[in-house]
Chains A and B, each alone.
Chain A
Amino acid sequence: MGGVPGSGLAKGLAVTFGTMTRRSHTRQYPDVAPDLPPRSRGVIALLEENCTVCMLCARECPDWCIYIDSHKEEVHVPGAARPRQRNVLDRFAIDYSLCMYCGICVEVCPFDALFWSPEFEYAEYDIRDLLHEKERLGQWMATVPPPPAHDPNGEPAKEEAAAAAAAGAEGAAA
């Protein structure tokens, strides 16, 4: 404070009046879709083909809201001595009434089967409907945004480096 007595009072009036003349910050959400920041955490999408039933996500989940069921199938590979075994996903469900959107399952997934989608409008009148089975989780895949572009100043991706090295070796061999 200090200065002229009452300057604080005048400043209060000036600030409120100035705010009134500027545009308000309100987003009229149901009428106007919000501009979400990139990598918004709305819902988790499942790419079923990539899942190997390794169970890492279910085990890392802090509140145990991922349910996975599977069975083993024998795959006969022609020419192989013994049939191989393969995990087949029967059920993959995320209970969004428990999920706390930490994203650990997306982080730990070693085969890129889980993705963040920015969709957030899946509120339900019945809490049981918040349990999304794998069909519903698969439908969210369509809304997953493409991954952000690579940082031009960063190191090249491992895959790119390996491909370049292989191409270089081929070129040298030829």
Chain B
Amino acid sequence: MPVWLDILIRVVAVLVAFLLLPLVVGQAEHKVMAHMQGRLGPMYAGAFHGWAQLIADGIKFVQKEDMTPRGADRPVFQLAPAVALLPYLLVLLVIPLGPGGLVGQHLDIGLFLVLAVISVPIVGVLMAAWSSANKFSLLGGIRGAAQLLGYELPLVLAAASVAMAAGTLSLPGIVEAWQPWWLLWQLPALFVFFVAGVAEIRRPPLDTPIADTELVFGYKTEYTGLRFAFLMLAEYAGIVVIAALTTVLFLGGWKGPFGLDVQLGWFWTLAKIAAVSFVIIWIRVAYPRLRVDQLQRLCWLVLVPVALGQLVLTAAVRLVM
């Protein structure tokens, strides 16, 4: 197979996953949330249990007028959704689906790249908030800055713990090194990474930058049409990315409960991503939004100390073994 074809297939596969998985998660959110609240959710679009609801939504968004407020900083306002969305595409490129090079692009510093890139959407949030010339957007953006910068720290510390345990920064390498007993050993890091990840993608109950009951819709308030759809897609792509990272770092990626990892690796990875995405949806339904001060308290007084303790534990176990 020529190199260019290989690259093309990988890029197209990542792009398809990037466009498809967020829609699946979004549809799952519609249905799971509805049933958790004793409702049915979408039932009409696509004739069978509303499976085409998000496609219909997408068509609706395309038809809507793409408005830019007069007072807005035009180029920044229009660029922000792309800045918020595209980094997730880049992250998906290095997430391994299965063993033996079943990954968009193998990188020895994959984890480093992921952690660096995953903080770029914060810039998109700030751009959207600042350029909207709207006080609610600005409040949301400032909250977002405080939240995202704060939660960056426990996220990185928890990921560092796994990297230290595996002795590599390569994501496939981490999965290779992963053992089932790490579930227990790295449990605090898993908890910290998951919570910080949910905060990082601004999902309820850690969605103070959006907070639709307080801030209209936070930094998304002034957006319409396709740009709004991109911001929403960024949220669901974020769920996929955080679920995939949790899977790869803490849940053993393609390693299944009974052998056959080479053949069924992709299935185990997808199943674990789906399970983690389900939990992200689940906590959205179950818990109310944290207040801004509670959010910072959780970050600095719970997650950061736990992550530091986990680092010490990981280092100690590594030294002993």
- Residue A17 interfacial (CB < 8 Å): yes
In the bound complex, residues from chain A placing their C-beta under 8 Å from that of B32 are 20
In the bound complex, residues from chain A placing their C-beta under 8 Å from that of B38 are 19, 22, 24-26
* Cα-based distance from A16 to B32 in the complex (angstroms): 10
- Residue B37 interfacial (CB < 8 Å): yes
In the bound complex, residues from chain A placing their C-beta under 8 Å from that of B123 are none
Q: A24, B286: Cβ atoms under 8 Å? A: no
* Cα-based distance from A21 to B43 in the complex (angstroms): 18
Q: B36, A17: Cβ atoms under 8 Å? A: yes
Q: B35, A24: Cβ atoms under 8 Å? A: yes
Whether A26 touches B283, Cβ cut-off 8 Å, given contacts A19-B35, A20-B35, is no
- Residue A62 interfacial (CB < 8 Å): no
* Cα-based distance from A24 to B34 in the complex (angstroms): 8
A residues contacting the other copy or chain, number (CB 8 A): 13
What sequence of 0s and 1s flags, for each residue 1-40 of chain B, a beta carbon within 8 Å of any chain A beta carbon? 0000000000000000000000000000000101111111
* CB-based nearest B residue for A13: B286
Residue of A9, A19, A26, A28 near B36 (CB, 8 A) is A19
In the bound complex, residues from chain A placing their C-beta under 8 Å from that of B39 are 24-26
In the bound complex, residues from chain A placing their C-beta under 8 Å from that of B48 are none
Q: B282, A17: Cβ atoms under 8 Å? A: yes
- Residue A145 interfacial (CB < 8 Å): no
- Residue A42 interfacial (CB < 8 Å): no
Q: A19, B37: Cβ atoms under 8 Å? A: yes
- Residue A12 interfacial (CB < 8 Å): yes
Which size class do B's interface residues fall under? 10 to 19
- Residue A169 interfacial (CB < 8 Å): no
In the bound complex, residues from chain A placing their C-beta under 8 Å from that of B37 are 19
In the bound complex, residues from chain B placing their C-beta under 8 Å from that of A33 are none
- Residue B258 interfacial (CB < 8 Å): no
* Cα-based distance from A12 to B36 in the complex (angstroms): 11
- Residue B287 interfacial (CB < 8 Å): yes
* Cα-based distance from A94 to B282 in the complex (angstroms): 50
Q: B40, A13: Cβ atoms under 8 Å? A: no
* Cα-based distance from A28 to B282 in the complex (angstroms): 25
* CB-based nearest B residue for A15: B286
Nearest Cβ distance between residue A70 and chain B, in whole angstroms?
50
Please report which residues of chain A, range 1-34, place their CB below 8 angstroms from some CB of chain B when the two chains form the complex. 9, 12-13, 15-17, 19-20, 22, 24-26, 28
Max chain B C-beta neighbours (<10 A), residue from A17, A19, A20, A26: A20
* Cα-based distance from A13 to B36 in the complex (angstroms): 10
Nearest Cβ distance between residue A19 and chain B, in whole angstroms?
5
Q: B40, A16: Cβ atoms under 8 Å? A: no
* Cα-based distance from A26 to B286 in the complex (angstroms): 20
What sequence of 0s and 1s flags, for each residue 108-132 of chain A, a beta carbon within 8 Å of any chain B beta carbon? 0000000000000000000000000
Whether A24 touches B40, Cβ cut-off 8 Å, given contacts A13-B282, A16-B282, is yes
Whether A28 touches B34, Cβ cut-off 8 Å, given contacts A15-B286, A16-B286, is no
Nearest Cβ distance between residue A167 and chain B, in whole angstroms?
56
* CB-based nearest B residue for A14: B286
* CB-based nearest A residue for B32: A20
Q: Other than A16-B282, A19-B38, A24-B39, give 19 A-B pairs with Cβ distance below 8 A.
A: A9-B286, A9-B287, A12-B286, A13-B282, A13-B283, A13-B286, A15-B286, A16-B36, A16-B286, A17-B282, A19-B35, A19-B36, A19-B37, A20-B32, A24-B35, A24-B38, A25-B39, A26-B39, A26-B40
Q: Which 5 A-B pairs have the closest CB atoms?
A: A12-B286, A26-B40, A16-B36, A20-B35, A20-B36
